[in-house]
Amino acid sequence: MFHKILIANRGEIACRVAATARRLGIRTVAVYSEADAQARHVAACDEAVCVGGAAPKDSYLRWERIIEAARATGAQAIHPGYGFLSENEGFAQACADAGLVFIGPPPSAIAAMGLKAESKRLMETAGVPLVPGYHGADQDPRLLKAEADRIGYPVLIKASAGGGGKGMRLVEAPEAFDDALASCQREALNSFGDAAVLIEKYVQRPRHIEIQVFADAHGNAVYLFERDCSVQRRHQKVLEEAPAPGMPPELRERMGLAAVAAARAVGYVGAGTVEFIVEQPQGYDHPEAMRFYFMEMNTRLQVEHPVTEAITGLDLVEWQLRVAAGEPLPLAQRDLRLQGHAIEARICAENPDNQFLPATGRLSVYRKPACSAFAVSDVRIDDGVGEGDTISPHYDSMIAKLIVRGDTREQALARLDQALAQLHIVGVANNVAFLRHVVRSPSFAQARLDTALIARESAVLFGQQPVSLTAAVAIAVAHTLTTEAQAAQEASAEGHDPWRARDGFASHGERSRRFAFQWGEDTVPARLTWRRDGSRWLVVGEGEAATAGALAWRDAPGGGWALGVSFAGEDWRATVYAQGERLHLFTPQGSAAIVEVDLLAHAGDAAAEGGRLTAPMPGKVVAFLVQAGDAVKKGQPLAVLEAMKMEHTIAAPADGTVAELLYAPGDQVADGAELLRLGGA
């Protein structure tokens, strides 16, 4: 076994490899860009070497610098992770030339599977089923059009040298072929430097199912069952699960054997994934009719490998290291067993409601559910970031991978939804809420899976608001008063000072306090009244649309929740994170953001008061800054009110003349009391 390896990657996969290496007693070397000097993967390794600037082309793709770092630190082998140089046969060969072990397949296998057309010719020879199509070298547009006509529409045009959905077009009719071909070729040339394409029949109700394979240098090869990766956006995976729901055992065996045949056909060594498109010609309820076709082989460890680890109890990175060190596979096919069901959710910095536009920003809040790392457990998170880190524009938008396991798919689904609810991210747009919608959607819950699931369920996936207005306001009010009470307690030198209390206590009568919240485009008023019996009565909204009821809250620690709130006959658990006036609310039902409007700060903002200036909450008049008859300008300070142990300035809502002062300094005023009147300018 190696005593030191270099990890030629960053983020969660670098941390993932380092964890297994540490467990096996192998020292690790990290490489990092100038932008990643403080990154978590740097701290996760025993040594670290800077290899260049922030852009991948200046650092993580500079293989000569990476090889130089490996030799300088005494590393014996290089683990490429996934992405970057993991499927670059030139890098694999350069490692061998430098006397370093590339922890991956031979360069010849990478080259053979790197070109879609060539790999399909090899698979055809090996007897692996192929989608009807054209994979030839002749790229004459007239020939390509004739082949599409022969195959029958709809067809897919796909870049031969690419992946990740780039250089791919669906063509549903002959008259659309020429334009789609030209567009696909341009994109393929720009992305991969090769305009060659292949054409395949478009499979109806397709599922994306892949087989994890492993081979060693001693002629042994096995398959570690399958993963369903059908839930995709922009041809990129969102959720992956293992085993594939509804997979007949006989079909699993046939696909597994076909995947092993594919690996053997190219002399494969190490971890790889053979991806199949699976047709459901008779619909979702007839798995016995499913047919599978080879798509491509990924010659590396996949992002979704943890679900395979969860259902097999194996550490695939350990297998990679042992095979690369020349050891035989740890287990034979007959020794491998399925154990339960696992699902992985990719947590990404993106905006699902805006075409999944990638996002950047600082993780001001990043709170995770209770989990175990790199082990068979109910909940696991693989990540390479921490609270306070920044998601930069230089690298992939994935923040983390959340993996859950259950004895059954139903149990795994429930655990995934619960874990997503307890994953709190503030500061950067993310897809956590969207993932919860997918998990709860009828198609996913019932395992009616295909690559069009997101489009089919769009009505329940996008633009959803799982937290109601009344719930958001009730939680926000409870949070505000709880925070104020805590601040008052901390400010008291003696630990308990009744004069600092924010609980609305009065020696006689009832007291009220007004609130206002920005909810989307609407400003929503609310009024909280402390009654004589000690209860609190909250009114949200105005007029007939208002909701009213008793409001109560309590501490609710545990399970990721801080508050238990009851209002108008409903109960919620919630945790709230404040960023200025914006409150981010997380509940078991979902998350939302609501903006608390500072009524004192905005008292003069609206001309709707009609020249009247009122106290937005109970307080004491400290001073008037004008006299009757004074001309004032919009925004000019008029009075100072003391409330909540703080002074607030009331400003003029418009130009005008002070008509009358209605109180004197030192007077106590009630919520809503008119302080002065303004006349016209």
Q: Residue 235 and residue 494: Cα distance in Å, rounded?
A: 62
pLDDT tens, position by position, 432-487: 999 999 999 999 999 999 999 999 999 999 999 999 999 999 999 999 999 988 88
Nearest to 274 by CA among 224, 315, 235: 224
Output DSSP code: residue 414.
H
Please give the share of the chain, as a percent, with pLDDT higher than 90: 73
Given a cut of 70, whether residue 504 has pLDDT beyond it is no
Measured from the Cβ of residue 117, the count of other Cβ atoms closer than 10 Å reads: 18
Of residues 673 and 170, more confidently modeled: 170
From CA 613, how far away is CA 426, in angstroms rounded?
A: 36
User: Which two structure tokens, joined as six digits, stand for 447?
Assistant: 């395992």
Q: Output the six-digit token pair for 268.
A: 């494969």
pLDDT at position 644 over 80: no
> Quick one: pLDDT at residue 610?
46
**Considering the domain boundaries, does residue 139 fall inside one?**
yes
Nearest to 222 by CA among 261, 251, 249, 252: 261
- Rounded Cα distance between 527 and 8, Å, is 58
Q: In whole angstroms, give the CA distance from residue 38 to residue 33.
A: 10
**Mean pLDDT along residues 36-49:** 97
Confidence label for 532 from pLDDT (cuts 50, 70 and 90):
confident
Residues 257 and 127 in one domain: yes
Q: Record the tokens describing residue 66, joined without a space.
A: 């990476």
Distances in whole angstroms, Cα of residue 115 to Cα of each of 136, 151, 158, 180, 196: 12, 21, 11, 21, 10
Q: What is the mean pLDDT of residues 222-240?
A: 95
Between CA 443 and CA 179 the distance in angstroms is: 34
- Report pLDDT for 379: 95
The answer to whether 335 and 343 are in contact (CB under 8 A) is: no
Q: Give residue 119's pLDDT.
A: 86
For residue 385, count CB atoms less than 10 angstroms from its CB and return exposed for 0-12, middle for 13-18, buried for 19 or more: buried
Reported as a single tens digit per residue, the pLDDT across 83-103 is: 899 999 999 999 999 999 999
186-225 pLDDT per residue, tens: 988 988 889 999 998 888 899 999 999 999 999 999 999 9
Residue 49 CB partners (closer than 8 Å, separation 6+): 29, 30, 31, 32, 69, 72, 73
Distance of alpha carbon 167 from alpha carbon 600, whole angstroms: 56
What pLDDT was estimated at residue 180?
Answer: 94
What the block records as the tokens of 497 is 């000072």
pLDDT of residue 604: 47
Contact 541, 527 (CB under 8 A): no
Summarize pLDDT for 588-607 with one digit per residue, the tens.
999 999 999 977 655 544 44
Q: Is residue 497 part of a domain?
A: yes
Phi, psi of 287 (to 5 degrees): -65, -25
Q: Which residues pair with 158 in a beta bridge?
A: 168, 198
Q: Does 227 fall in a domain?
A: yes
Beta pairing class for 379-383 and 398-406: antiparallel
Do 182 and 241 share a structural domain?
Answer: no
What is the DSSP-derived secondary structure letter of residue 203?
A: P
- pLDDT tens for 214-230 read 999 999 999 999 999 99
Torsion of CA 229, 234, 238, 240, to 10 degrees: 10
Dist CA 145 CA 134 (whole Å): 10
Q: What is the pTM of this model?
A: 0.82
What is the average per-residue pLDDT within 25-49? 97
Confidence (pLDDT) at 494: 56
Query: Are residue 478 and residue 568 in the same domain, yes or no?
Result: yes
- Residue 635 is predicted with a pLDDT of 83
At 492 the pLDDT is 66
Number of domains within the chain: 6
In-domain check, residue 532: yes
Active site residues: 300
- End-to-end CA gap in the chain: 87
Are 361 and 437 in a shared domain?
yes
Q: Which of 320, 337, 354 is the last residue of a domain?
A: 337
Percent of the chain at pLDDT above 70? 92
What is the average per-residue pLDDT within 271-296?
A: 93
Tell me, yes or no, whether 478 and 587 share the same domain: yes
Return the residue matching tokens 């608001």. 465
Please give the Cα distance from 596 to 583 (Å, whole number): 7
Is residue 602 assigned to a domain?
A: no
Please, which residues have CB within 8 angstroms of residue 298's CB and are 6 or more apart in sequence?
A: 87, 113, 210, 272, 273, 275
Q: Quote the tokens at residue 266.
A: 């190219």
Q: Using an 8 Å Cβ cutoff, are 215 and 264 in contact?
A: yes
pLDDT score, position 338: 95
Residue 226 CB-half CA count within 13 A: 29
Q: Are 14 and 36 in contact (CB under 8 A)?
A: no
Query: Is the predicted pLDDT of residue 608 greater than 50, yes or no?
Result: no
Give 117's DSSP letter: H
pLDDT of residue 498: 55
Token digits of residue 624 = 């008037």
Do 532 and 430 fall within a single domain? no
- The tokens for 88 are 């670059």
Cα–Cα distances (Å) from 315 to 23, 228, 270, 538, in that order, read 11, 20, 13, 54
| 553 and 667 share one domain | no
Tokens 């609810």 label which residue? 421
Out of 29-33, 278-282, 669-673, give the one with best mean pLDDT.
29-33
The strand pair at 656-661 and 637-643 is best described as unpaired
Contacts (Cβ under 8 Å, ≥6 apart) of 315: 20, 309, 374
Note the pLDDT of residue 651: 84
My answer on whether 551 and 516 are in the same domain is yes
Distinct helix (H) and strand (E) counts, the chain: 17, 39
Distance CA 6, CA 32 (A): 11
Q: Are 72 and 51 within 8 A, CB to CB?
A: no
Specify the pLDDT at position 96: 97
Kindly report the number of other CB atoms within 10 A of residue 669's CB atom.
19
Distance between CA atoms of residues 158 and 187, nearest Å = 10
Last residue of a domain, one of 183, 201, 219: 201
Same domain, yes or no, for 124 and 138? Answer: no
Give the Å distances, CA to CA, from 291 to 213, 274, 276, 407.
20, 15, 10, 28
In a domain, 485, yes or no: yes
Which CATH number covers residue 524?
A: 3.30.700
Whether 601 is in a domain gets the answer: no
What are the tokens at 178?
A: 């020429």
Per-residue pLDDT band at 298 (split at 50, 70, 90): very high
Beta bridge partners of 525: 516
Q: Which residue has the higher pLDDT, 496 or 680?
A: 680
Shared-domain flag, residues 112 and 218: yes
Q: Provide CB contacts within 8 A for 57, sequence distance 6+.
A: none
How many angstroms from the chain centroid is the CA of residue 441? 18
**For position 30, which CATH number holds?**
3.40.50.20
Check residue 164 and give its pLDDT. Answer: 65
The verdict on residue 303 lying in a domain is yes
Q: Tell whether 32 and 46 lie within a shared domain.
A: yes
Average pLDDT over residues 415-423: 96
- pLDDT of 397 strictly over 60: yes
Domain that residue 76 falls in: 4-103
Of the residues 417, 439, 461, the one at which a domain ends: 461
Of the pLDDT bands very low, low, confident and very high (cuts 50, 70, 90), residue 495 is: low
Q: How confident is the model at residue 609 (pLDDT cuts 50, 70, 90)?
A: very low
Give the tens place of pLDDT for each residue, 119-141: 888 898 999 999 888 988 999 99
- Single out the residue of 134, 94, 517, 595 nearest to residue 80, CA to CA: 94
Residues 253 and 127 in one domain: yes
- Per-residue HEC secondary structure of 476-491 comes to HHHHHHHHHHHHHHHH
- The three-state secondary structure class of 262 is helix
